[in-house]
Structure 1
Amino acid sequence: MENPNLSSEPAAEGGARNSSSPGTAPATPGEECGCVRLGKCKWFNVAKGWGFLTPNDGGQEVFVHQSVIQMAGFRSLGEQEEVEFECQRTARGLEATRVSGRQGDDCHGSTYRPRINRKTRRMRCYNCGEFANHIASECAIGPQPKRCHRCRSEDHLHADCPQRSAAVTRTSRRSKSIASDEAAEAAEANSAAP
């Protein structure tokens, strides 16, 4: 779906453009570019970093990218936020070159922030043995004696844990029996073939 405000078609005869809203007179091309204009943010996508401004003088909507917004930190615009801006005509339509709050102040920005898809990784603290959100050097508990992280016994370490060796032998027996079953089936298949 193509936005009619971003089309590169030439203006209608006489230099007038078709206005998307009836009753508003479009601004002349000289008024649209190169001067400071006032307007409101029609909408802004904080995840993608772009949106559109509606000029107060009733001209064509103006594309705005987050890189031209004057504010500290995460740059965005809130819906219906009043701004002043400068723009230029590009092949795709009008594009803002500078966007700020009224009288050149910083913009307020949107209250929404884009969602960050971060996989949370479970980390084991080798001091307290917990799966937590810290590592041993940042552990709130003081230094602990060496101990098994599986059963927390100070008699042995994780590599020598009797619980671990029982689990390993069960797994290794199971994998050995599966491998021997597969070998027996392969031998039967070879002997049955003429």
Structure 2
Amino acid sequence: MATEVTATTSSSSVDEKSENVQSEAKDSTLPIDEEIIGMRRGKCKWFNVLKGFGFIVPDDGTQEVFVHQSVIKMGGFRSLGENEAVEFECKKSDKGLEATRVNGPSESECKGSTFKPKPKKRFRKVRCYNCGEFANHLANECSQGSLPKRCHHCKKEDHLVADCPEKPEKAKKSSKSDGDKSLESTSTSNE
């Protein structure tokens, strides 16, 4: 019988402990409605500059707040530095708390992350319709100014590239037709 009594006592003490933990958790966090009202202070826990989002840890110890780069107040590339002090407003969304406005202390701009993603290098060259060169500029940015229409292959003004007599593609086509004639002549001579 003594074992049964201890089992009952231990299960009731477990229930009391879980109730205490739940009540402490309720006391440490404010209701969601109160969290949304007014500006709050916190620090950036982490921010992914490539994907443009991160999380803020409020100074009052409540739930972490999701932050997207579009709500950050700063010029240029918007991001947050790790442990950067911020002021923010938030709202409750389907997935938790989400920042609606983020700025630095005293309504100043955020400093941002020191890491900046490298832009994708553009190696593809385009043809300028003005000078005909394959370069990294278009006709409206051409350094040679406005030029008259001319062939981009031989640079002569009396025809365009489609009708160029010096174009190597025409030479290749004519050599194929010559090759066909030579094959025909060899096949007729063998007979």
TM range (shorter): 0.5 to 0.7
- Listed as ranges, the matches of 1:1-194 within 5 Å are 13-14=22-23, 16=25, 27-30=28-31, 32-114=35-117, 121-144=124-147, 146-153=149-156, 156-164=159-167, 166-171=168-173
Q: In proportion to residue count, which structure has more helix?
A: 2
- Aligned 8 A contact 2:150 2:158 in 1: yes
Unaligned runs of 5+ in 2: 1-20, 181-191
Q: Using the alignment, how far apart are the partners of 1:118 and 1:171 within structure 2?
A: 37
Deviation at 1:144, TM superposition (A): 4.0
Residues 20-57 of structure 1: CA deviation (Å, up to 9, x unaligned)? xxxxxx94224744343322111112333221012233
Say if 1:92 and 1:142 are closer, same or farther in 2 by CA, change over 3 A.
closer
Identical-residue share of aligned pairs (%): 57
Instruction: Calculate the aligned-residue CA RMSD, in Å.
Output: 3.6
TM-score, with structure 1 as normaliser: 0.60
TM-score, with structure 2 as normaliser: 0.61
Q: Using the alignment, how far apart are the partners of 1:96 and 1:123 within structure 2?
A: 43
Say if 1:149 and 1:32 are closer, same or farther in 2 by CA, change over 3 A.
same
Helix, strand or coil at the partner of 1:162: coil
Q: Which has the higher contact order (CA 8 A, sep 6+)?
A: 1
Helix, strand or coil at the partner of 1:53: strand
Helix, strand or coil at the partner of 2:81: coil
User: What is the count of residue pairs matched by the alignment?
Assistant: 158
Helix, strand or coil at the partner of 2:170: helix
Q: Which amino acid counterpart does residue 36 of structure 1 have in structure 2? A: M
Q: Using the alignment, how far apart are the partners of 2:122 and 2:140 within structure 1?
A: 23
Deviation at 1:154, TM superposition (A): 5.1
Helix, strand or coil at the partner of 2:23: helix
Larger Rg: 2
Q: Using the alignment, how far apart are the partners of 1:155 and 1:40 within structure 2?
A: 69
Q: Which amino acid counterpart does residue 136 of structure 1 have in structure 2? A: A
- Aligned 8 A contact 1:47 1:115 in 2: no
Q: Which amino acid counterpart does residue 160 of structure 1 have in structure 2? A: D
Residues 5-30 of structure 1: CA deviation (Å, up to 9, x unaligned)? xxxxxxx621517xxxxxxxx94224
